[in-house]
C-alpha cells in the first residue's frame, strides 16, 4: 500500500512589499506523477515576480504538452523553455532587464519510486527520512558552495554577508538544455515514508536544518507543517518571501535509505554492475584521484580547474582566494608526469603523495582544492 500527498504555500514575509516567490504542487499527467517546484524571483520590484510567474506557467504548460518521454529530460527541457521565455521577455521590456529567478523542480514518479530534480540557484530540495534531513540540491552561490564542502558551518553560512549572491540564474541568457554551467539535473530514489521539501531561501536563511527536521518529524497534517515552517521563518524576522512545498510519500515497501549521504548523486547500478559495488566505488575513487593530480599540475597561477567549472559570462562572484594554489614555490621537476603510468593507480597515489610532500607549506590550499574537485565531480 502506498499513498502520496502534497501541499505548498508562499508567504510575503515581514519585510517585503511584494511576493516575488511562486510555487507548483500538483499532479502532472496522472496521479502517479507529482510536480513540485519552488521559485524565487530576482530583479527587484515586479521584475522578479514576473519572472517567477513566467517560470511557473511555462513549466506546467510545457510538461502538459508532452506526456510521453523520459521524465527527467522533459523537466529539463521545460525549465530551459522557461529560461528562454524569461530572457526574451527581458529584451522586450528594458525596465525589467534584470528580471530572472532561481528554481528547484522535481517530478516524483510514484510507481518507479524516483525523484527527478532540475535545479538552478539557491532554492533547495531536501528529503526527510527516519529523522534525517538530506539536502539533495547544491546552492549555486559562493557561500552555499563553501557550506557544501564544509568550509563554512550552517550558522556561518546563514549569517554570511554574501549569502544571497548567486552565480546561476534562470533568464539571464539564452540556453540549450545541456549547456554547461546551467542546470543541475539529477535523480534520486524516493524513500518509503519520507517527505520531500522544496523551498526558497526565505526559509533556509533563517531556519536551521535541525529546526526543519523537528517540524517535519511532528505528527501534524501536511498543511500544518508547511504553515509551521513559514511561521518559524517569520518569527525570526521574515526578511524575505518564504515558499514551502511538501510531498509526503508513505509506503509499506522498503526502499534502502541513503539519507546519511549528503549532496551526492545516488546512482542505481544496472543489472550488469549490481554485484560489483566495491569495483564501482574503486573506479570512482580512481577517477577523483586522477582528476586531483591533473588539476594540481594544471593549476598554474591558481584555481584553473575550479575556475573552468564555475566561470560564467556574467560576474560569478566566486572569489579566487578560496581556491588559489600558488605554484611558484614548487620545484617544477618534481611535478613531471611524463614517465607516470596514469593507469597505475598506486603510482598515481604515490605521485600525489610526493606532490603533497613537496608543497607542505601549501597543504591547506591543496586540501581545499581536492575538496573542490570532489564536490565538482559529484555535481557534474
Nearest to 20, CA basis, from 125, 117, 96, 116:
96
Nearest to 101, CA basis, from 45, 168, 163, 157:
168
> Residue 7: pLDDT above 80?
yes
User: What is the percentage of the chain residues whose pLDDT exceeds 70?
Assistant: 66
Task: Quote the cell numbers at residue 380.
Answer: 557534474
Residue 46 has what pLDDT?
74
The values of phi and psi at residue 233, to 5°, are -65, -40
Nearest to 233, CA basis, from 43, 7, 21, 5:
21
Average the pLDDT over each of 199-203, 235-239, 273-277 and give the range with the smallest value: 273-277
Burial 294-310 (b: 16+ CB within 10 A, else e): ebbbebeebbebbbebb
Residue 64 has what pLDDT?
97
Most confident range (mean pLDDT) of 36-45, 186-195, 264-273, 325-334 is 186-195
pTM value?
Answer: 0.70
**How far apart are the C-alpha atoms of 187 and 68, rounded to whole Å?**
18
List of E strands, 171-298: 184-189, 194-199, 242-251
Average the pLDDT over each of 81-85, 276-280, 287-291 and give the range with the smallest value: 276-280
Query: Cα 173 to chain center, whole Å?
Result: 20
Going by C-beta distance under 8 Å and a sequence separation of 6 or more, which residues neighbour residue 287? 377
3-state secondary structure at position 27: strand
Query: Cα 184 to chain center, whole Å?
Result: 6
Residue 366 has what pLDDT?
58
Residue 95 has what pLDDT?
87
Q: How confident is the model at residue 333 (pLDDT cuts 50, 70, 90)?
A: very low
Question: Mind giving me the DSSP string for 83-95?
Answer: HHHHHHHHHH-GG
> Residue 47: pLDDT above 60?
yes
**Average pLDDT value over all residues in the chain:** 79
DSSP at 72: H
Higher-pLDDT residue of 233 and 327 is 233
Higher-pLDDT residue of 306 and 106 is 106
Query: Domains in the chain, start-ordered, CATH in brackets?
Result: 2-251 (3.60.40.10), 277-379 (no CATH)
Higher-pLDDT residue of 294 and 121 is 121
> Residue 160: pLDDT above 60?
yes
The values of phi and psi at residue 32, to 5°, are -90, 5
Q: Is 122:102 a contact under the CB 8 Å cutoff?
A: yes
Residue 285 has what pLDDT?
38
Residue 27 has what pLDDT?
98
Amino acid at each position: 500500500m502506498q499513498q502520496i500527498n502534497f501541499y505548498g504555500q508562499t508567504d510575503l514575509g515581514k519585510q517585503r512589499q511584494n511576493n516575488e516567490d511562486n510555487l507548483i504542487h500538483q499532479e502532472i499527467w496522472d496521479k502517479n506523477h507529482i510536480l513540485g517546484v519552488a521559485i524565487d524571483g530576482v530583479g527587484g520590484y515586479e521584475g522578479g515576480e514576473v519572472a517567477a510567474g513566467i517560470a511557473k506557467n511555462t513549466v506546467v504548460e510545457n510538461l502538459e504538452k508532452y506526456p510521453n518521454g523520459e521524465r527527467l529530460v522533459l523537466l529539463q527541457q521545460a525549465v530551459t523553455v522557461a529560461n528562454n521565455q524569461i530572457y526574451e521577455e527581458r529584451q522586450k521590456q528594458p525596465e525589467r532587464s534584470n528580471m530572472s529567478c532561481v528554481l528547484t523542480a522535481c517530478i516524483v514518479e510514484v510507481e518507479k519510486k524516483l525523484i527527478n530534480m532540475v535545479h538552478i540557484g539557491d532554492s533547495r530540495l531536501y528529503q526527510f527520512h527516519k529523522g534525517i534531513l538530506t539536502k539533495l540540491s547544491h546552492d549555486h552561490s559562493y557561500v552555499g558552495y563553501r557550506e557544501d564542502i564544509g568550509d563554512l558551518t550552517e550558522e556561518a553560512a546563514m549569517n554570511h554577508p554574501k549569502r544571497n549572491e548567486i552565480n546561476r540564474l534562470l533568464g539571464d541568457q539564452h540556453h540549450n538544455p545541456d549547456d554547461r554551467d546551467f542546470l543541475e539535473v539529477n535523480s534520486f530514489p524516493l524513500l518509503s515514508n519520507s517527505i520531500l521539501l522544496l523551498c526558497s531561501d526565505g526559509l533556509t536563511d533563517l531556519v536551521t536544518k535541525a529546526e526543519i527536521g523537528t517540524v517535519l518529524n511532528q505528527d501534524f497534517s501536511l498543511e500544518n507543517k508547511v504553515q509551521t515552517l513559514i511561521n518559524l521563518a517569520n518569527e525570526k524576522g521574515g526578511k524575505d518571501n518564504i515558499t514551502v512545498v511538501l510531498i509526503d510519500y508513505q509506503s509499506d515497501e522498503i526502499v534502502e535509505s541513503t539519507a546519511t549521504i549528503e549532496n551526492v548523486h545516488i546512482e542505481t547500478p544496472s543489472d550488469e554492475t549490481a554485484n560489483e559495488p566495491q569495483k564501482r566505488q574503486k573506479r570512482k575513487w580512481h577517477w577523483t584521484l586522477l582528476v586531483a593530480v591533473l588539476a594540481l599540475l594544471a593549476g598554474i597561477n591558481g584555481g584553473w580547474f575550479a575556475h573552468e567549472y564555475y566561470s560564467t559570462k556574467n560576474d560569478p562572484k566566486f572569489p579566487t582566494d578560496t581556491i588559489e594554489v600558488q605554484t611558484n614555490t614548487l620545484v617544477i621537476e618534481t611535478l613531471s608526469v611524463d614517465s607516470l603510468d596514469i593507469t597505475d593507480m598506486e603510482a598515481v597515489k604515490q605521485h600525489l603523495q610526493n606532490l603533497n610532500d613537496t608543497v607542505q607549506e601549501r597543504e591547506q590550499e591543496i586540501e581545499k582544492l581536492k575538496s573542490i574537485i570532489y564536490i565538482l565531480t559529484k555535481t557534474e
